[in-house]
Chains A and B, each alone.
Chain A
Amino acid sequence: MFLEALQKVLADHVDSAAIRAIEGGDSGAAIWQPIEEAGFLALMQPESFGGAALALPELFPILECLGRHVLPLPVAQTIVARALVGPQAELPGGMVTLATHWQSLADGGGVAVHVPAGHLAVHVLVADGERLLLLAATHARREPVGDPRSQVVHLRWANPDPVLELPTGGRQLPAFAAAMTAAQLSGGLQRCFDMALEHCNTRVQFGKSIGKFQALQQQLSTMAEHVLAASIAAEAAFRCEAAAPDWLAAAVAKSRASEAVGLVAATAHAVHGAIGMTDEFDLALVTRRLHAWRMQHGAEGYWNREIGRAVLASGKTVFECMRAI
């Protein structure tokens, strides 16, 4: 029900021109407003706050759908932020994003690094040990990192003055943010695959569609395998009765989906040839986002190390550890 409604809103408002405009500095308000008004941001909020109190398994297709549209607005983050805060408090309206790592500085300042959509968000929900802090991103100095179109910034506050301080939820934030990104990747990778498949079926060389060549068929098959692996891993992180994803399942989801980006994005570009290298063609909108999401809240290198350490520390076989997911 929610999924169909969201698909309709996104189909009506999100197109390549809108994405390019946001990447170029537009506020995205024309897309944000209908999403907020339709109540999608409150999907995970308790019913006492007027939310839909959606269960985690039902959230997965919503996030996947947002990923498929490679929307560079913090819709997913705002939904997850409200879920993390839960019944503890009600967040102010507007765009909220997530920050996994918080550093308090000796001079009283504070830094949140690699904040996705930090360029646009009004607030950022930060994990500080057990605590959750809600800070006004508008009061921070925003330093773009990487491609400015990716909207990732470091946020620096001279005098961080949390709008909200909550005693719990901080431990759940990194895993939830990772699982959220894995779900977005699942949608984005599927979109990328669809574009490659479509191109293989329509582009004609040597008198036939290039998808008729075995070399490309083998590449597309491999791509499909990795897209499916990423999707299944991502969905598994949401197969959970708890309010937030399990740490290990989220770690696996993010690692597997992030790893798929390398092969899937590269193959999509290889298949498309020169046209895929242009600014005008939409493939770059997808692959740019995939690479940003691969790193968002930790790329596979980080999560693999953490999973490996957990397996070593468990004293159990890797089979026993992993069949719990």
Chain B
Amino acid sequence: MSSLLSQLRLATLPAHAQALRAEVKAFLAEALEPAPPHVRARSWMGFDAAFSRKLAARGWVGVTLPKPYGGADLDAFSRYVLVEELLAVGAPVSAHWIADRQSGPLIVKFGSDVQKAFFLPRICRGEIFFCIGMSEPNAGSDLASVATRARPNDAGWLLNGQKIWTTNAHHCQYMIALVRSSGDKEDRQRGLSQFIIDLSLPGVTVRPIRDLSGDAHFSEVFFDNVQLGPDALVGTEGSGWQQVNAELAFERSGPERIYSSIVLLESWIALLRDSPDGDLHAGDIGRLACHLATLRNMSITVTARLAAGESPVVEAALIKDLGTSFEQEIAQVIESTMGIGNDNPREAELLRTLAYVSQLAPSYSLRGGTREILRGMIARGLGLR
């Protein structure tokens, strides 16, 4: 058996994490404003700063960050439960999402004491939101060819270049960007660094890009002689690639790679439950339910490895590919049953939700690493490359 597969044995959520579930449900019952399914379907694309602040006030933003900085110091399992309960009801978590999942933990791991003292408490209070600057017009899947450049000068670093497809850049105060700080294009992964960029600085221009559903969830960001201080660098100069890779397992194996279409699925099942046609679709419902249960167990299994301090990047890639396929399939399956219906207003709402999910679904296997790139990583993990 390939060691990649044999190492991943089933893990279980520990009792302390399970115990958090009831608290989260109680909080959501109170704090979450009622919203129709087509709105809730946006979930981790749904931006609602007020909701994020309510969650922060409850102590659940920056949940894995240390207590001295205002974090909840919860482990990966507890975060798993919190996040899956939020996603299962389609809570609008987008505002604080990146800071909670990636930027906060990155600053804890690689940031200076000054950076920690400044950013972490503000993240935990829901005062500042982060975006991640990775892609550029000529650096998509080939991320190592980023051309945005930070040149050292007397005041710190002078930043020039452009990022694109940056989720929520137009709503966020800060970006953590991967840029070239030394060497040349030919140096590829070497010479890249991560910087925290205050998006209110002179020379920064953020332009939202309207997506195919009519929303504007991502942006292009231009840097024209943006003067960064010396403390904008996170971690070590030239180690940006390694630092980014350390985040990838967190980014790719979580519940957000399973639940992106869950509001649509729940709406469909709820409609069928009250319909005489329900049993006709029992097989489809059962298959999707079966995949959901299995992906969830796979995701918890990788979470256990993360909780143990490992970085199971290949395993996370594997789960992301399978999970996003499932999320995409939900829209496909439901769409395949539609078109001969009635004037039931609940069906009209379902169709509106379906229209959104079905249009956004292709992005599930683009964002956070394309399907083809992930499969290449898995092949490497299997020893084929």
Residue of B nearest to A248 (CB): B293
Q: Any chain B CB within 8 A of the CB of A54?
A: no
Q: Any chain A CB within 8 A of the CB of B376?
A: yes
**Residues B289 and A311 in contact, CB atoms below 8 Å apart:** yes
Interchain nearest-CB distance for A1 vs B (Å): 17
Residue of A nearest to B10 (CB): A235
Q: Any chain B CB within 8 A of the CB of A203?
A: no
Task: Count chain A residues whose beta carbon lies closer than 8 angstroms to a beta carbon of B.
Answer: 52
**Bound Cα distance from A142 to B4, whole angstroms:** 43
**Residues B282 and A319 in contact, CB atoms below 8 Å apart:** no
Q: Any chain A CB within 8 A of the CB of B279?
A: yes
Task: Count chain B residues whose beta carbon lies closer than 8 angstroms to a beta carbon of A.
Answer: 52
**Chain A neighbourhood of B88, CB < 8 A:** 317, 319
Please classify the interface of chain B as helix (H, G, I), strand (E, B), loop, or mixed, using the class held by over half of its residues.
helix
**Residues B384 and A200 in contact, CB atoms below 8 Å apart:** yes
**Bound Cα distance from A87 to B294, whole angstroms:** 33
**Bound Cα distance from A225 to B324, whole angstroms:** 12
**Chain B neighbourhood of A201, CB < 8 A:** 383-384
Q: Mark B258-296, 1 if CB is under 8 A from A, else 0.
A: 010010011001001100001101111111111111111
**Bound Cα distance from A236 to B301, whole angstroms:** 11
Q: Which one of B12, B379, B385 has the highest number of Cβ atoms from chain A below 10 Å of its Cβ?
A: B379
Evaluate whether A305 and B286 lie within 8 angstroms (CB atoms) in the complex, with A194-B2, A220-B382, A232-B298 already known: yes
**Chain B neighbourhood of A322, CB < 8 A:** 289, 292-293, 296
**Residues A193 and B298 in contact, CB atoms below 8 Å apart:** no
- Stretch from A41-49, A97-105, A133-141, A209-217 forming part of the interface with B: A209-217
Which one of B2, B4, B282, B293 lies within 8 Å of A236 (CB-CB)? B293
**Bound Cα distance from A315 to B259, whole angstroms:** 20
Evaluate whether A312 and B273 lie within 8 angstroms (CB atoms) in the complex, with A252-B294, A317-B88 already known: yes
Q: Any chain B CB within 8 A of the CB of A303?
A: yes
**Bound Cα distance from A216 to B322, whole angstroms:** 18
Interchain nearest-CB distance for A311 vs B (Å): 5
Please classify the interface of chain A as helix (H, G, I), strand (E, B), loop, or mixed, using the class held by over half of its residues.
helix
Chain A residues 50 to 81 lying within 8 A of chain B, measured CB to CB, are: none
Q: Any chain B CB within 8 A of the CB of A197?
A: yes
**Residues A319 and B298 in contact, CB atoms below 8 Å apart:** no
Residue of B nearest to A315 (CB): B273
**Residues B375 and A318 in contact, CB atoms below 8 Å apart:** no
> Interface of B with A (CB < 8 Å)?
1-2, 4-6, 8-10, 12, 84, 88, 259, 262, 265-266, 269, 272-273, 278-279, 281-298, 301, 318, 321-322, 372, 374-376, 378-379, 382-385
> Interface of A with B (CB < 8 Å)?
190, 193-194, 197, 200-201, 211-212, 214, 216-218, 220-222, 224-229, 231-233, 235-236, 239, 251-252, 255-256, 259, 300-301, 303-312, 315, 317-319, 321-323, 325
- Assuming A221-B378, A252-B289, what are 19 further A-B pairs, CB within 8 angstroms? A190-B6, A212-B385, A221-B374, A221-B375, A221-B376, A224-B2, A225-B318, A228-B318, A233-B297, A236-B293, A236-B294, A239-B12, A255-B286, A256-B294, A305-B283, A318-B292, A322-B289, A322-B292, A325-B296
